[in-house]
Amino acid sequence: MFFTYLRRELRRRRKAALVVASGLALGIALVIVVSSVSSGMSKAQDKVLQSLYGLGTDMTVTKAAAAPGAGGTERPRFEFDAKDDEETQSTDRVMVQGFQTLAASTVTEVGGQDGVADAAGGLSLTVMKVDGQFRRGEFTQDESSGQDGGPGGRGGTGRPEGEVQGGGASFDVDSFTVSGTDVTRQDLGPLTSSGITSGRTFEATETDAKVAVVDSAYAGEKELALGGKVTVSGTGYEIVGIATADSGDAAADVYIPLKQAQTLAGTEDEVTTVYVKATDSQRIDAVKAAIRKNVPGTTVTTSADLADTVSGSLSTASDLAAGVGTWLSAAVLIAAFLVAGLLTSSAVSRRVREFGTLKALGWKSGRVTRQVIGEALVNGLIGGALGIAAGVAGAYAVTAVSPTLTAQLGSPGGGGRMGGGPGSRTAARTLDIALTAPVSLSTVLIAVGLAVAGGLVAGGFGGWRASRLRPADALRRVA
């Protein structure tokens, strides 16, 4: 009897049911779209941060920046030999990024802290190569020299008059970055932000081998190929792999074993960065506090710290989705619930004679209330189905369009990535990220829950109204 009466009433009051369902559908669809876009923003930001610190790395430890005036920053110097029989000059300089290093023992010290699952050291270098020629000038004597003023030339100075023509210098400056990688712990460090697209990665036994993995963009620019050699400060390294950054710029142009990097820079048993992986993502803040307390003279940077340095349209859109979008969807949903409740209550008021007659025939107030709530719940489920369909369609449209957002990366110290060191002055980088709006199962379940809640709210309004009706009201309205 319940379902028979329910089906008949919903069919008889299609327009009212459609209005209630449409209001709920609008609110639910907006919630799905906003939730999906927010999820897409989070994934886009994860891509940006991945390009900064790599997969598996929860935080990095670098040397604390020196106080202003505590020490001058080393400037690169290039010296050329003056040779009469050679005009071509070439020299290069290997410099530690940030000019500040930590003792290699810091890696062990950090790895021993409570909550640290693993730690690996890395050495970030910048190589500057100057290559070019000095061109000798030619002295051109004045044709009238020696004709006036006595011997030796005009004016009697004893020197021929003329000028030096031509000459000068032409030099090319090439700069690239080198990252010393701990080949025994390749699940940590800068190379984890790139994938090997050709060849192989380092082997654990190649701790001091002259091998290198080269970033694909740098390899294309310098026409480097797998199996060839890349020269760093006069030392040739066999290219065993080509890596491509998963998102944004690569952490370095060339990756070599850590020990080889230390030898090139003359910094044996020193590192610029300690890459840290926590035992639990929920303990990152506690691990950070422990390292800062127990390992003095260091700066600890987490992915959350780097997230604060991401600016641009990605950051703006993320703030809007988290702030304005969330409040807007909540406001629309609340309004939809209220409208559904008021419409249901109004419909009950127009059915006074019907419900009064049913009570006169023996229906209890509870049965009438359950009938009204059942109708409202079905309206809510219909609205939920329409809302889920509209929300999924909206999220799919966002993914299909894939609007491009920009993320400008920079750190308080001017570096663009974890591991650059507090003293580095890497220019800010801008990444283009395609926005997607993935719809998760949890979002759909939330939408179903909202549909049921909307039906119950509407039914609560109508049921309360129906429970107050008396059979006498029906008799008064009988014509």
pLDDT value, residue 72: 46
pLDDT value, residue 105: 92
Provide the token pair at 321.
């989705």
How far is the C-alpha of 333 from the C-alpha of 29, rounded, in Å? Answer: 10
Reduce the DSSP state of residue 327 to 3 states and report it.
Answer: helix
State pTM to two decimals. Answer: 0.56
pLDDT value, residue 108: 93
How far is the C-alpha of 321 from the C-alpha of 35, rounded, in Å? Answer: 8
pLDDT value, residue 446: 81
pLDDT value, residue 371: 74
Provide the token pair at 412.
């308080």
| C-beta separation of 378 from 8 below 8 A | no
Picking from 327, 334, 359, 315, the residue whose alpha carbon sits closest to that of residue 469 is 359
How far is the C-alpha of 432 from the C-alpha of 249, rounded, in Å? Answer: 11
65 φ/ψ angles, rounded to the nearest 5 degrees: -65, 140
How far is the C-alpha of 175 from the C-alpha of 462, rounded, in Å? Answer: 75
> Helices 326-350 and 14-53 meet at what angle, rounded to 10?
170
| C-beta separation of 244 from 215 below 8 A | yes
Q: Where are the beta strands (DSSP E) in 17-161?
A: 59-63, 88-96, 102-103, 116-141
- Tell me the pLDDT of the chain (479 aa) as tens digits: 566 666 666 676 777 777 777 877 888 888 888 888 877 777 776 666 655 555 457 788 988 876 555 444 455 555 555 555 455 666 678 888 876 899 999 999 999 999 999 999 999 999 887 766 656 656 566 655 555 545 545 455 555 566 656 555 666 677 899 999 999 988 888 888 788 999 999 999 999 999 999 999 899 998 999 999 998 888 999 999 999 887 556 678 999 999 999 999 988 899 999 999 888 878 888 999 999 999 988 999 887 676 655 555 555 656 655 555 567 667 777 777 777 777 776 666 666 666 666 767 777 777 777 777 777 788 778 888 888 898 899 889 888 888 776 666 554 333 334 444 333 334 445 667 777 888 888 878 888 887 788 777 777 766 666 666 665 655 555 44
